Amino acid sequence: MQAVLGFVLGGAYHKIVPIFPLFVVMYGVFLTLGEVGPGSTVVLASSERFPTAIRGQMMGLCSAVSKAGAAIGTQVFIPITSGAGDQGAFLVGSAFAVLGALIAFFVIPDVGRKLEDEDENWKKYLEENGWVADWGDNETKDPKGVIINQRSS
């Protein structure tokens, strides 16, 4: 959706910009679509993809790669606008939005599974490779055994 609006903004840039209120509204919707779609993909995909034991580390790695891509994108943006102008920036950015949508559709696996299944698969993998561990609290079976806001005597 963001790519379509970006192609419209880029394709009709010289006709839309003189109508300033139209441009402001379209650009605002364009930015909003970027935050609703691709902006949340990193968090959603990485939080659903990794087992609990390593989820925090993997979300950090995914966020770092995302931030590196954003840094590279801002450095590439200046040559694009100096060479092709603002119109070219919308068109190139929209092409990257299409590329991102295709990658998300074809590469990100189905997350319709339960996270508990991912945890069990992770534990099996570790056991098969010689890792021995005692998982969780075997005495109280957390979280049922957690008592919050109670004083001990």
The domain locations on the chain are 2-113
Looking at residue 10, its pLDDT comes to: 87
Looking at residue 68, its pLDDT comes to: 92
Looking at residue 45, its pLDDT comes to: 77
Looking at residue 41, its pLDDT comes to: 74
Q: Is 70 helix (H, G, I), strand (E, B) or coil?
A: helix
Cα–Cα distance for residue pair 46/44, rounded to 1 Å = 6
* Residue 45 near residue 109, CB atoms below 8 Å: no
* Residue 26 near residue 16, CB atoms below 8 Å: yes
Looking at residue 33, its pLDDT comes to: 84
Flag residues of the chain having pLDDT under 70.
37-39, 111-113, 134-153
What's the whole-model pTM score? Answer: 0.63
Looking at residue 150, its pLDDT comes to: 57
Looking at residue 22, its pLDDT comes to: 92
